[in-house]
Structure 1
Amino acid sequence: MPLHLRLATVAVVLSISWATAAADLRRPITLPGCPDKCGNISIPYPFGTKDGCYFDDTFSVTCNLSTTPPATLNDLLTLRGIGYYFGDQANPIGTRTNRSWWTVDLINVDVTRGEARVSMPFSSDCSLNESYHELNLNDMSLNFSTTFLFSATQNVLVGVGQSVRARVFGDMARNNYSAACNSLFDTPAVAQDGLCKGLGCCQAELAPGLVGIMPSMYYQSNSMWKTFPCTYSMVVDRSWYNFSLQDLYGYKVLDKRFPGGAPVVLDWAIRNGSCPAEGKPLPMACRSGNSLCVNATNGYGYLCKCKDGFDGNPYIPDGCQDIDECALRQEKPELRDSYPCNGICKNLIGGYDCNCKFGMKRDSNGTCTPVFPIPAMLLFEEKRKTKEFFIKNGGPILEKVNNIKIFKKDELKAIIEPCNVIGKGGFGEVYKGLLDNQLVAIKKSINVDRSQEKQFANEIIIQSRVIHKNIVKLIGCCLEVDVPMLVYEFVPQGSLHDILHNQSNNVSLSLGTRLNIAAGAAEGLSYMHSKTSTTILHGDIKPGNILLDDNFDPKISDFGISRLIAIDKSHTKCVIGDMCYMDPIYLQSGLLTKKSDVYSFGVVLLELLSRQKAAFGEDRTLVKAFLDCYREDKQVLELFDKEILADKDIGVLHKLAMLIVECLELNVDRRPEMTDVAERLHSLKRSHKN
């Protein structure tokens, strides 16, 4: 049998339920004496890895700890085919050059839902030139098993590509089946991360009862193969894949991001009968005393469930145990809506009781009503929330830091008014106001990355210690709200982007002023890269993040994307930033380095000198036009703003053009360091004055 497929990077969880996992991880999930794990994959009964440990042969799992991943479902196979076709032909015909059968890796089992997740490789169509297409097609069959069916509710057909017509062929009770979806765009700007509605990504629903699937693509030519070489088709767990623009660029990007393929959800059930009439004994598979039987919704058969108020594995004796709802409310706040209680929670077997809190009493309808006046209760609740937010946002740590001021919510209340808004966007709003006799800008975000909440205090400490004339200073923060508010020094002239491109207020910018802006911004970046105790990478350098004071001295802003990064930990899980200024090497690899900021600075410098907006697309219009002129030895200075094209400055402008070319080098090792960029710009600034 061929080599084992590698599992995609999918979190493996014992999916009996939230409640079981939180309440007691020591509860048994399989029969006595039977292994409950294969490596790090939980194997709950009716599944098993040894004789006597599974319900019947269709639930047997092969466990081989010498492979990664170690668990495979028996009787399930994937047929993997490799081939090619020529897209420039009128009616392309595909040719398969190799076929082989592969075993199917198990990702996890959900006893409560009657589901198993397995991995399946992506089907792909990759253009190696204008004509030749390389095909990788995969076919998964359940025909050898009576237990599993592909889930029509949890799976979906997904196509990814600049121009893709994804399709899936299937088999349902000896009837042929197919579904398809289309995706097409002319410019990448119309596609959006997370949106799968026909622009870069498409999807189609599946029919129930499928026992075989083969995702593929319609054959077609690809005129944009250099930028978008591959298209993909997959049947996948609809909750797993989140479309990213990065998946469109590069050769077999999805295969590199997810080496083991994508998770597919299989519905399973006990297929040898159905639930008995009410009052009749439960079928033999439902062994727990607190279990019940429900008929399968996909195919014939039944599933066992725990009764309300109980959770666990209903297929083993005493598997369904009481849920401690009160403990869960404390441990998992997201479950409080499932177990509502506005009073004091008391656990009962098979349920829970809710007694009234202090200051409340139960009325004739059983509802807790306040004994004290409502305003007093509201004030008490407001103080409680304020304290809770303060602690959650790292207040106990930050109030010990000397160079950061912690503001109370009431101190900022007068500034956080609609009339004081000076900036608004997807991130939230920025307000201008007077605080302690100093003009400040207050950034109020509309949401927060919950996964980064615990790092917030550390980020604030880092920002408060970055003190440089060319970096916007963080004065303090307010922690008494759900999403902390940040207080910065106010920079009066706004952003470089607004100065360059505001048509209603066209500000004159001499070459000297532009050199001052470029040298100062470079010095700020150089400080972040080389003159702090640990390297700080910005990751989103653009004119919108360079603010100007009354003297047109620049200050770098927006550390929202910045992270304190050790040199050996620079890989990001996803690429973040403005595409117009992004280093193409970072775009392809996800590796953020100091040289990524150097590239972005090169684009900013070009925009500053040309007063033309950078644009992101197949040709990156401004950058491509500049580099083409330079390489072809054309009049590159003709792209620069006519306002600065004085004869006496031609030498300086040529040196600036050379510096831009070096910053935009695709070979990152040939790009200069920001310290070198700053020194050269300061030298040009001095020579221009003289």
Structure 2
Amino acid sequence: MSTMPNSSQFHSHQHHLLLVLPVILILVVVSPLLAAAAEAEAQGQQPMARPGCPDKCGNMSIPFPFREGFQVLCNHSSDSDPPRAFLAGSTRFKGSQIYSDSSWSSSLELVSISVATGEARVYAPIAYSCNTNRNESLFRDQHIDFSYTPFAVSATRNVLIAVGLEAEAQLIFSLFTYQTPFTCRAQDFDRTPLARNGSCKGLSCCEQTLPADQGSGRFSMLWVNPVHDHFIWETTPCSYGMLVDKSWYNFSTPDMYGDKTLLKRFPRGVPLALDFAAGDTWCPVEGQPLPPHYACVSGNSSCANVTIEIDSPGYVCKCWDNYTGNPYIAHGCQDIDECKFPEVYPCSNGGICKNRPGGYDCPCKFGMKDDGKGGACTDVFPPAAKQATVGVIGGILLMVILWFTVILRKEKKKTKEFYKKNGGPVLEKAKGIKIFKKGELKPILKNSNIIGKGGFGEVYKGLLDNKEVAIKKPINGSVRENEQFANEIIIQSQVIHKNIVRLIGCCLEVEAPMLVYEFISQGSLHDILHNKNNKAALNLDARLSIAAQSADGLAYMHSQANTRILHGDVKPANILLDDNFIAKISDFGISRLLARDEEHTASIIGDINYMDPVYLQEGLLTEKNDVYSFGVVILELISGRRAIHSENNSLVKSFLEVHKEQKKATELFDKEIAIAEDLELLDSLAGMAMECLSLDVDQRPTMMEVARQLHILGRFRKVQDV
């Protein structure tokens, strides 16, 4: 009986393991052992290879095994397409008689390798004995030696088979010590009838399981006795013997007839199952140091003792249950996502698969109990209670649907009422004004889009029809109702002037109708003048131009529009500037849109800092009130100071005192524009502002006159510059 060498002997004989194939083969020795795994494809491509190692030979994946002794030869020659893998370190020899077959190969071709089961499969040759005439035989024995390798023929997965009318296959376990051969005879004519196709029972076919207690894993030779009956050599000249993976070979009656028929049917040989071991020691006991070259390097893996030869220790590595991959490489064993393979890891009725490391769970759905993994989920409630619950839930859902229906109808009715109250029927007939649906403006009405707040409400910036717009959302209850509001909207929509912000449309489906204006990019004069935003661009020429353009816009509203329009809230915050710093009047006519009452007089209709004292006393809004407010705007332009209504810090009061004393207001001018050559122009602007601020309303100029004077000053300045 062959024996497994000890560790030192194993390493000393390594140079004998690799045998050279015929020169016609182009071989690549894959070392330190190829990486990949056939089972990886079925379980989600888990890691099977060491980094940098090739993982395939042709179409076959080869997992990285363990250490030296598992070398694989890959035939890349032109006559091997795709390339084929061979297990190095195993040999088989030809027979020794004169008329023996001379064809042989030094290595066994690999069929597959599985690190999960500790098994390899190879193509093994078929031993045969054939009569060439009445007196001579041609035979080939099968000699496979695994004495110095980690492999052995599996005694549990293989069988010995003899085929032929006078077939006798013998398995010899050692060439150096006498042992009774293990024999399988198929030539007993007393056994009738002949074996049938698909069954190796009866005359002409014999199948025997291997004797595990005789060290079958290390057999030395398989041979077939020559045919003794020379009268049948012409029709059934050959007898065959083979070690083969059980349940693989299906007997066929034509296998008995003709010259080497079975060899032609299986030219590459028959599959033979091999066991292997990762090392030649037992698994280490917990607490003991690991043996040298210990192979189980992956986490989530364990060691299992195996015996591939009687009384010889060995072990293999296995991934834990519910893990897959290669335990012989770092991080090779990975968790299986069982939920991706319901046919292998089922959850019974009602269970919901949830993966976890090292397993999976099947918690039952709501309303069910137990575990869908161990048994079927069952209802928590009895059928009667379930029906009652369904009825209650159905009733609640019906009530909710009815409630939503009522709410939607009320909302729809309210929308129609708002539309009518805000003058929708009148505005439908108007031209040049667009009526927007509430849903069209809703995406813009977000806090992130707010660009301004005031007594009138909030201002939002957004895109409508691919154009930038400003949406003014008034405070609820602040807008007049019915036709008066509608008529004012119509009037404003008809105002088209280069120095007036254009009203595009409105939304009437809300309590306080929203107004949609063109968006002016640079913001208000107030922000630029007092918040230092682009103030460097506000030189004296720019300020004079802004004043003249603003006066043009107000003059147009007062005297040139189809209907006289009063602004009611003239101030720098309502003078907007575009990209070219062209002034545009905004929020005009607000006082006529808003309901008049004492509560709104000071806080909504106008800004107290710019409000005409005469208007505060009499409560009657005229175009001269706008003139007064514009005078305050001129003072802000030339001083750069805010207009604040207080007894101690009033911009208007300061200029009026200087004017009353007939002094120059040089100290009050903005230092950024108050250069010596411009003081005369600034004095003229201050004088114009004093005329606008006169408490005698009749002494105030009209906006047409103010605009004319500003343009004259502008032309005079240009002439001076030339």
TM-score (norm 1): 0.44
TM-score (norm 2): 0.42
Which structure is larger by alpha-carbon Rg, 1 or 2? Answer: 2
| Bigger share in strand | 1
